Amino acid sequence: MALQGKAWKFGADVDTDAIIPARYLNTSDPAELAKHCMEDADPEFPNKMQPGDIIVADKNFGCGSSREHAPIAIKAAGVSCVIAKSYARIFYRNAFNIGLPIFECAEAAEAIEEGDEVAVDAARGIVKNLTKNETYQATPVPEFMQQIIDAGGLIDYVAKRLRPTDQA
């Protein structure tokens, strides 16, 4: 899976309240959550980002409460993936469970600037800054977790694995 888009840069310790403010947790509708994605960190983010764009952040992205709404809002907003130095553990698991590709790469998180065009080879974990003509290696994602992402999330992955195969 190849991902490509414009980078939107955020700092360290972006908590789930900044990703999707608690005042919008009265819904679990992904389209509604997408309208408010990252608005407390950057009020214009929902209006200026384009489908396929990439969030790049410093350390501990997704810290705070364990709400699954945070990665759902990011995915529903059309963000193709998140690249960060590190993630809060529960956000990391929730992202994979809902099918949001995330990559840990300190070098990319430091070097990529807002507005840079970035491409990610998800299968190999290679991050390319097309603007600066630089390449970085993200921490490899285990194959079974890549399969969860490819399936669209854990529920779809399990459903696919439980589906009886056609017998000829």
CB atoms closer than 10 angstroms to residue 78:
15
pLDDT of res. 67: 85
Please list the rounded mean pLDDT of every run of 10 residues in the chain (168 residues).
92 96 93 96 94 98 92 97 97 96 98 98 95 96 91 92 70
Specify the residue for token string 């608690």: 22
What is the value of pTM for the model shown? Answer: 0.93
Calculate the CA 136 to chain-centre distance.
Answer: 17
pLDDT score, position 168 = 47
How confident is the model at residue 98, as a pLDDT? 95
Three state DSSP letters for 70-112: HHHHHHHCCCCEEEECCECHHHHHHHHHHCCCEEECHHHHHHC
Length of the chain: 168
